[in-house]
A = this chain, B = another copy of it.
Amino acid sequence: MAPPFTREEYTDRLNRVRTRMQELGFDGLVIGDPANINWLTGYDAWSFYTPQIMVVGLEVDPTWIGREMDAGAAKFTTYLPEEQVIPFPETLVQQPDVHPAQFMADWMRGKGFDGKRIGYESDVYFLTPAAVDHLRAGLPNSQWADCALLVNWQRLTKSSAEIAMIAQASVIAGHAMQTAYDGVRPGVRQCDLMAEIVAAQIRGAPEFGGDMTALHPLVLAGEAASTAHPMWTDTPFAADQTIAFELGGCRKRYNAGLARTVHLGTPPETLLTTAEAVGEGMEAVLDAMRAGVPCCDVHAAWQAVLDRYGLEKKSRIGYSIGLGYSPDWGEHTISFRPDDRTLLPTDAVVHIILGMWMDGWGMELSETVHVRESDAVCLTQFPRDVHVIDI
């Protein structure tokens, strides 16, 4: 086993992060997002449920600090030499009076970070307020500032190797959706169908295996279809249900999202009209998307179609997608909505998700899209129409 990308690619990523650190005046970064840690070094393990950070300095090479029993994972998932893998003792795990972040602060002090300008990720899932408090207390002479999404923004533009990885994830997403289409019938329990779907995601393809998507696979059926992120149950699907599947595929933590809608029986007129609007909206979005276009203009193309149909959608219609761990595959940088004026870069990969959660029912249509210099192409390949199953 080895990191999935070349050493040169990891070096390039680090250089981009360090350039940005210099621009923003940071001597060091405390990175808590496991996707950012992976992106910088390849580190991949389910170790982030105990405190884990990566420290990157202008003068200090990326160093993983985490639980002793997880340090071994760095050996076979990263290029990091031993001195850049710092295990904290098991005795620090989940104690009332001591915290692993105290150990982390000690290590940082030893590396000369006290008195320096340190940026930390203030709004990621696995770097907690307690951890940050301990870090600050242990380096009291440093200037601490939120580095916000510094690393995430570097991830927005993908390498060709990353795009190839998401293309593989997209193939897996197609298999998962086909499994959904093949199995969804009245009387089948949601959990039994989801079992087959998730198995298809994990199995992947003969040439490359799959991983679990960072976003929990979602099925919106019955009363749950009017809300965006319900958990599946063991209730059977029923005749005349509209069922939205928000699935996807994952390859080495790179995610592709794919959502489609099925109807069991004769589809009601409202579904067909909404689906027509959403399908046209997707075409309009894809036509509008290319490098240099602001995200809000892409949203405007969608809004124009929606207005014509007299429909409303309050939430954003997409975001940057890629490397991600549970619970989210979005990169938290760009969003397609009226107030995001970010210009799309070449080689962004975005998930356009047109979710319509109506009164008592819902439908979804999504694509994972590669933004190119003069156009945008879908990495996910699956028929877009509402799939009607005769019962």
Residues of A within 8 A of B (CB): 1, 44-49, 67-73, 75-76, 89-91, 93-96, 99, 120, 122-133, 146, 148, 189-192, 194-196, 198-204, 208-212, 215-216, 218, 223-224, 226-235, 253, 314-316, 319, 325-328, 330, 332, 335, 337, 339, 355, 357
CB-nearest residue of chain B relative to A191? B209
User: Number of copies of this chain in the oligomer?
Assistant: 2
CB pair B129–A68 under 8 Å, yes or no, is no
Q: Are the CB atoms of A96 and B234 closer together than 8 Å?
A: no
- B209 contacts A202, C-beta separation under 8 Å: no
A123 and B94 alpha carbons, distance in the complex (Å): 10
Q: Which residue of B lies closest to A44 (CB)?
A: B231
Partner of A327, one of B73, B90, B326, B337: B326
Which residue of B1, B91, B94, B198 contacts A235 across the interface (Cβ within 8 Å)?
Answer: B1
Residues of B within 8 A of A44 (CB): 231
Q: In whole angstroms, how far apart are the Cα atoms of A48 and B191 in the complex? A: 22
Q: Do B93 and A315 have beta carbons less than 8 Å apart?
A: yes
- What separation, in Å, do the CA atoms of A199 and B316 have in the docked complex? 33
Q: How far is the CA of A48 from the CA of B202 in the complex (A)?
A: 24
Contact A234 B204 (CB under 8 A): yes
Chain B residues closer than 8 Å to A89, beta-carbon distance: 314
Question: B46 and A218: CB pair below 8 A?
Answer: yes
A229: which B residues are within 8 A, CB to CB? Answer: 45-47, 69-70, 73
CB neighbours (8 Å) of A328 from chain B are: 49
Q: How far is the CB of A133 from chain B (nearest CB, A)?
A: 7
A209 to B193, CA, bound (A): 11
Smallest beta-carbon distance A165→chain B, Å: 13
Partner of A223, one of B76, B99, B227, B330: B76
Give every chain B residue within 8 A of A120 (Cβ-Cβ).
129
| Least CB separation from A357: chain B residue | B69
Find out whether the CB atom of B69 lies under 8 angstroms from the CB atom of A228: yes
**Minimum-distance CB pairs A-B, first 8:** A209-B234, A191-B209, A72-B227, A195-B202, A123-B130, A69-B228, A49-B328, A199-B199
Task: Please list 13 pairs of residues, one from A and one from B, whose beta carbons are closer than 8 Å in the complex, sorted by A's number.
Answer: A45-B229, A46-B230, A49-B327, A69-B229, A72-B226, A72-B228, A89-B314, A90-B315, A91-B314, A124-B128, A128-B128, A191-B211, A195-B203
- Complex-state Cα separation, A227 to B72, whole angstroms: 5
Shortest Cβ distance from A72 into B: residue: B227
Q: Evaluate contact between B130 and A146: CB separation under 8 angstroms.
A: yes
Contact of A228 among B70, B146, B196 (CB under 8 A): B70
Shortest beta-carbon distance from A361 to chain B in Å: 12
Given A89-B314, A122-B133, A129-B132, A45–B335 Cβ distance below 8 Å? no
